[in-house]
A = this chain, B = another copy of it.
Amino acid sequence: MSGIDYAKQHADRFVTDLVDLLKIPSISTRPEHHPDVERAALWLRDHMHRIGLEPTIFRAEGRLPLVYGEWFGAGPDAPTVLIYCHYDVQPAVLEDGWLSEPFAPTFRDGRIYARGAVDSKCHVIIQLAAVEALLAADAPAVNIKLLFEGEEESGSGHIFRFVREHAELLKCDVCVVSDGSMPDENQPILDYGLRGLSPSLELHVTGPKRDLHSGHFGGSTHNPIHALVHMLSQLHDEAGRVAVPGFYDDVTPLSAEERAVLAPIGPWIEAEWREVAGAPQPWGDPDYQLHERVMVRPTLEFNGIYGGYTGIGVKTVLPSTASAKITCRLVAHQDPTRVYELLKAHIARITPPTVTSELRVLEAGAPAVVIDRNTPAMRAVHAAYREGWGVEPIFSRMGGSVPVVAVFQKTLNAQFVLMPFGYKGGGAHSTNEYAVIDMLHKGIATMLHFFRGLPTTA
């Protein structure tokens, strides 16, 4: 019996496993649910043990558990695959507009509705089921390491340091991050890039030393909101390009070849834009198509702005300060720290002498990731999705950032691949989240094809 056959035989039980895991409200952002996160970690450890892995729970002071499991039966000469997923979820309550209790998994129309179904417990179960089938029925030619994080939704506070401090434990030939989604249930995609993120910044502009009466001082005193908007308006040009000198210096140009590679995903991204964003019209760098703008081009975004009176009604104040929150999405080979320094220098240059400004770093950034489309591992992923879905996968790059990927890339000397099995319409972080049951089974099969397709020496 092959792993594929084993998976077919145990298909219903894999769904039951997913139901069991979905029943645990492992909400990492809510301290009152941390015992549930702990319960989920124990469930995963026991499950790993049952399917033949050697499990360990890693804890750190004030952090939620990382669950790790390994199997070395393929021997020291076989390649090792490290697979990352996260098992924590966003908050959810029925009152938010759910049709069924978010932690009482419910079947409707071939879907399983529950918080965490698509983000990201379907991935956890796919990986556990695939490894179970691999060990039980195939002749495994790869060693396996699974690493499941319990605080991805609350900032991944632990894993960066954990990866750096456990490089030997996590040593592998191929590293798989299994999270994310496809634009269509029937159309697998092959993400080979992620945008990075600059340090998260807050720009504070201070004018007068206290809030002033706009009658007594209006006209003689530079309003810091006025100064701030004038400064912020100088960070982009008329066409929407970032106008910070040097910002694009390290941006890799989009080659004609890559433009062609990405062309097929374009219509999916445009349809999604109309459905989800639905602004009066698209916007952005006129030299790039919509999907290219979010995949291969960097941004400078204002995530928040505040100053003066922001309550109901009117207060004729001329405020003392105004502030904006700023992050940049980066593409290879932009360095987050250099981008911060360029912006800092530009802000200093454009701060008028009538106010003072300060650019504070709130959180560290992460570099962008681009994966070579022609590694043996990427070719194996490509073939595995084709087998699993019966459809040629199309290439894509994620506009978002998964900071842990950059840490894996930097720390582990391995081939790196992204393997998403969710559906984009599945309501991650939203109400009535669901996983498509058919995609669960296709995902398990895809992983088994992937394990088989990897070169025996990586």
Interface of A toward B, CB cutoff 8 Å: 195, 197, 200, 207-210, 212-223, 225-226, 228-230, 232-233, 236, 240, 269, 273, 276-285, 290-291, 293-294, 297-299, 301-310, 313-319, 322, 324-325, 327, 329, 353-356, 362-363, 398-401
Contact indicator A314/B305 (Cβ below 8 Å): no
Contact indicator A309/B304 (Cβ below 8 Å): yes
Which of A195, A233, A302, A400 is packed against the most chain B CB atoms within 10 Å? Answer: A302
Contact indicator B294/A218 (Cβ below 8 Å): yes
Contact indicator A314/B325 (Cβ below 8 Å): yes
Where chain A touches its partner, the secondary structure class is mixed
Known interface pairs A217-B273, A279-B355; 12 further A-B residue pairs with C-beta atoms within 8 A, sorted by A's residue number: A197-B316, A212-B276, A215-B294, A216-B399, A219-B329, A220-B283, A225-B304, A303-B308, A304-B310, A304-B315, A306-B306, A309-B325
Once A279-B207, A280-B353, A283-B354 are accepted as A-B contacts, the answer to whether A219 and B316 lie under 8 Å apart by CB is: no
Once A195-B215, A363-B313 are accepted as A-B contacts, the answer to whether A225 and B354 lie under 8 Å apart by CB is: no
Contact partners of A363 in chain B: CB under 8 A: 313-314
**Can you name 15 A-B pairs with beta carbons within 8 Å?**
A200-B316, A208-B277, A212-B277, A215-B294, A215-B401, A217-B276, A220-B273, A226-B232, A226-B302, A230-B233, A279-B354, A282-B354, A303-B309, A304-B308, A305-B310
Contact partners of A327 in chain B: CB under 8 A: 214, 314, 316
Contact partners of A322 in chain B: CB under 8 A: 305
Q: How far is the CA of A325 from the CA of B223 in the complex (A)?
A: 13
Name A289's closest neighbour in chain B (CB-CB).
Answer: B220
Contact indicator B208/A294 (Cβ below 8 Å): no
Name A221's closest neighbour in chain B (CB-CB).
Answer: B277
Contact indicator A355/B304 (Cβ below 8 Å): no
Q: How far is the CA of A209 from the CA of B277 in the complex (A)?
A: 6
Once A309-B303, A327-B316, A356-B280 are accepted as A-B contacts, the answer to whether A294 and B400 lie under 8 Å apart by CB is: no
Closest approach, in angstroms, between the C-beta of A105 and any C-beta of chain B?
25
Contact indicator B240/A233 (Cβ below 8 Å): no
Which of A195, A226, A355 is packed against the most chain B CB atoms within 10 Å? Answer: A226
Closest approach, in angstroms, between the C-beta of A201 and any C-beta of chain B?
9
Name A314's closest neighbour in chain B (CB-CB).
Answer: B200
Which of A219, A232, A285, A304 is packed against the most chain B CB atoms within 10 Å? Answer: A219
Name A269's closest neighbour in chain B (CB-CB).
Answer: B220
Once A215-B401, A308-B303, A318-B301 are accepted as A-B contacts, the answer to whether A220 and B354 lie under 8 Å apart by CB is: no
Contact partners of A212 in chain B: CB under 8 A: 276-277
Contact indicator B283/A303 (Cβ below 8 Å): no
Closest approach, in angstroms, between the C-beta of A297 and any C-beta of chain B?
5
Once A229-B233, A324-B225 are accepted as A-B contacts, the answer to whether A218 and B301 lie under 8 Å apart by CB is: yes
Once A220-B273, A304-B319, A307-B304 are accepted as A-B contacts, the answer to whether A278 and B208 lie under 8 Å apart by CB is: yes
